[in-house]
Amino acid sequence: MPVTPLKNDIFLRALKREPVPYTPTWLMRQAGRYLPEYNATRARAGSFMGLAQHPAYAAEVTLQPLERFKLDAAILFSDILTVPDAMGLGLSFAQGEGPRFARPLRTEQEVNKLEVPDLSKLQYVFDAVSLIRTELDGRVPLIGFAGSPFTVACYMVEGQGSTDYRLIKSMLYARPELLHRILEINAQTTALYLNAQIEAGAQAVMLFDSWGGVLADGLFQQFSLHYTRQVVQQLTREREGRSVPVIVFTKGGGQWLEQIAACGADAVGLDWTVDLAAARRRVSDAVAFQGNLDPIALFGGEPAIRSEVRRVLDAFGAVGSGGHVFNLGHGISQFTPPEAVGVLVDEVRLYSPQFHDGNK
């Protein structure tokens, strides 16, 4: 693959806490159901997995939000559950419902049979990454991603989404060694999976620890952060002659910020419950931060969106030796009016340059 020089690398530079002219922006789940063009492609693909498993479709929807909005990064269209699907758990998405596994892990026997899968089963993901890189043609960097070992394990044990995580926590409390075995295998697989995405062309990677925040203090560190750190430490950190930054995001992890920031990642994603000024002080700008607008602020109408965007940028303040990537504190809601995203991006571009003194 010929390497096209990046025309806009400010996302990558902000993650490395290098000077940039304005605060770069992308949104979690930016290629998604709030966009009519996404829904049209999904209808043609027939299903969510039809989209994710066909590189041409995955590339098409990955690029859609970039056509509408001045975003500074693209993120691979895929799902964190491709990994356990490759492990043989049988993923499906029922219409209007969340993901389900046909063969969740509940018994010792089921856990003992779990193995690091043949990564060729995920070739469709790596093909999508390569194709997207080609189609992006250097416009903005491409982010690869995976779920954290614990978050993926939640789905593997529960078999679907949960409100109380009773099955996985019961395993954690009653048979911790079984959960540790799952997490070890998830960590090994996830490191291989992300490195293959980097090899295929991902220019930054993000680990989504969506459910680490449901664990008790002390157990979060043992059952989630420990394995996230294992993954981060095995990642390829340089490729195509430049650094491949790593972002770790634990939803609800604000209380553990110092510990998360020490896991080896370049940047930490923060949800909207965290004060960015306090977060910077707590870690002395040792990492960049990504976030942290409440996704529901996008339902407030234009004046409220602009004012809430400014509140986030004001909280971070003068960027100095820190790094800030503007984002939501969680994935964008499927009910979001698309024009609200335009307002958000516009306000970040208008209001953020004052916080950056290192203009290109």
Residues that bind a copy of itself (CB under 8 A): 164-166, 169-170, 172-174, 213, 215-220, 252, 254-255, 272-275, 294-297, 299-301, 304-305, 308, 311, 315, 329, 333, 335
Report the alpha-carbon distance of residue 146 to residue 274 in Å, rounded.
23
Active site residue 124: no
Q: Which is nearer to a copy of itself, 55 or 212 (CB)?
A: 212
Report in angstroms how near the CB of residue 254 gets to a copy of itself at its nearest.
5
With respect to a copy of itself, which residue has the nearer C-beta, 94 or 216? 216
* CB of 215 vs a copy of itself, minimal distance in Å: 7
Q: How far is the CB of 273 from a copy of itself (least distance, A)?
A: 6
The residue annotated as part of the active site, out of 42, 133, 229, 306, is 42
Least distance between a copy of itself and beta carbon 10 (Å):
26
User: Active site includes 9?
Assistant: no
In the complex with a copy of itself, the residue whose CB is nearer, 110 or 275, is 275
In the residue annotation, 346 being an active-site residue is answered as: no
Q: How far is the CB of 178 from a copy of itself (least distance, A)?
A: 13
Looking at beta carbons only, is 57 or 316 nearer to a copy of itself? 316
Mark whether 42 is an active-site residue.
yes
Q: Which of 9, 308 has the CB closer to a copy of itself?
A: 308
Annotated active-site residue in 13, 29, 100, 306 = 29
229 labelled catalytic: no
Catalytic residue among 79, 85, 209, 271: 79
Q: One of 155, 209, 266, 280 is an active-site residue; which one?
A: 155
Active site residues: 29, 33, 42, 79, 155
